[in-house]
């Protein structure tokens, strides 16, 4: 396998590094006849790897983040002899959940930012951490297996978590993500992506274009950089740092011909 030839069409160095790692894991899995995994990939990298695997027509890789709707996922490269059942039995060996249960006086006070900020403050590697599912009582933090003990031991050193109960649990005990939505209406001149992003991010069209060009926007899980892409009913738009939205309904037009769009924002 000539990696240089395979990766020659990719211009960004970070893309080449990510995909070269996937190729290395594929080779190692073939040589050892064992599962090989990456650390967590973000949404952009997940889309990049999915498209790459289709391009090279490689079927023995699963992207998984602990539950079906996970945004951050690891790549699991497995031997061709593995069945789906064999692969699923390995999930709990590859990923664990660090559960933080807050003391009574802190219940309802912490957001996703508090948990992620704590991990960053400890100097721990972000790529070892997947989705963080937050509830009023605490959070379930999905991590790669060999990182679970480190996180469990270090989180209590932070003042915000010193009185919390912290345990390592299996994936099967992962709490379900509570989806709460807020309905908002936006009025746009057209259904172009840059128009929609401008309203959802509450910024100018030029700033929205920058956000899109910075590869911070995803449509139905796929990174999208085409400003003029036409969106449609039920499309899911994710803007890094701004949230996730779904086009719920088209509510007609204003007198000037602008389109009224009902949006659901996940909060």
The predicted-structure confidence for 17-62, as pLDDT tens digits, reads as follows 999 999 999 999 999 999 999 999 999 999 999 999 999 999 999 9
3-89 placed in CATH 3.40.50.720: no
Q: Structure pTM?
A: 0.86
Whether the pLDDT of residue 165 is over 80: the answer is yes
Whether 218 contacts 238, CB under 8 Å: yes
Q: Which of 120, 100, 113 is nearest to 161 (CA)?
A: 100
Q: Identify the pLDDT of residue 1.
A: 59
Structure-block tokens of residue 25: 């894991």
Q: Can you tell me the distance from the alpha carbon of 190 to that of 199, in angstroms, rounded to the nearest whole number?
A: 12
Alpha helices per DSSP H over 83-231: 84-89, 91-94, 112-121, 148-154, 193-200, 205-213
Report domain extents, the chain.
3-89, 94-173, 181-266
State the CATH architecture for 181-266: Roll (3.10)
Domain 3-89 identical in fold to domain 94-173: no
Alpha helices per DSSP H over 169-263: 193-200, 205-213
Q: Can you tell me the distance from the alpha carbon of 152 to that of 143, in angstroms, rounded to the nearest whole number?
A: 11
The predicted-structure confidence for 199-250, as pLDDT tens digits, reads as follows 999 999 999 999 999 999 999 988 999 999 999 999 999 999 899 999 999 9
Q: Can you tell me the distance from the alpha carbon of 88 to that of 12, in angstroms, rounded to the nearest whole number?
A: 33
Q: What's the rounded mean pLDDT across residues 176-182?
A: 82
Q: Identify the pLDDT of residue 116.
A: 95
Pick the CATH number of 94-173 from 3.20.20.100, 3.30.70.270, 3.30.70.330, 3.40.605.10: 3.30.70.330
Nearest-10 crossing angle of helices 205-213, 193-200? 110
Strands 236-239 and 222-223: unpaired
Q: Identify the pLDDT of residue 4.
A: 79
Task: List Cβ neighbours of 7 (8 Å cut-off, separation of 6 or more).
Answer: 16, 19, 20, 23
Q: What's the rounded mean pLDDT across residues 75-96?
A: 94
Structure-block tokens of residue 50: 């999915």
The predicted-structure confidence for 111-151, as pLDDT tens digits, reads as follows 999 999 999 999 999 999 999 999 999 999 999 999 999 99
Q: Identify the pLDDT of residue 69.
A: 87
């Amino acid at each position: 396998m000539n990696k240089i030839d395979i990766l020659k069409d990719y211009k960004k160095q970070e893309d080449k590094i990510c995909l070269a790692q996937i190729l290395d894991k594929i080779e190692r899995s073939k040589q050892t006849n064992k599962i090989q995994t990456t650390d967590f990939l973000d949404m952009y990298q997940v889309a990049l790897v999915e498209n790459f695997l289709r391009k090279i027509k490689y079927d023995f890789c699963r992207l998984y983040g602990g539950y079906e709707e996970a945004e951050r996922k690891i790549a699991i490269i497995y031997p061709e002899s593995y069945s789906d059942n064999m692969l699923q039995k390995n999930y709990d060996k590859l990923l664990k959940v660090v559960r933080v249960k807050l003391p009574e006086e802190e219940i309802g006070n912490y957001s996703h930012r508090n948990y992620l900020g704590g991990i960053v403050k400890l100097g721990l590697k972000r790529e070892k951490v997947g989705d963080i599912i937050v509830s009023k009582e605490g959070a379930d933090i999905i991590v790669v297996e060999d990182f679970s003990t480190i996180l469990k031991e270090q989180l209590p050193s932070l003042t915000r978590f010193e009185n919390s109960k912290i345990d390592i649990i299996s994936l099967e005990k992962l709490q379900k993500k509570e989806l709460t939505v807020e309905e908002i209406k936006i009025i746009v001149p057209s259904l172009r992506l840059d128009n929609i992003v401008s309203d959802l991010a509450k910024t100018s069209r030029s700033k929205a274009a920058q956000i899109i060009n910075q590869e911070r926007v995803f449509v139905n899980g796929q990174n999208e950089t085409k400003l003029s892409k036409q969106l449609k009913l039920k499309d899911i738009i994710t803007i890094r740092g701004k949230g996730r939205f779904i086009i719920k309904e088209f509510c007609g037009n204003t007198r000037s011909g602008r389109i009224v769009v009902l949006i659901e924002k996940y909060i």
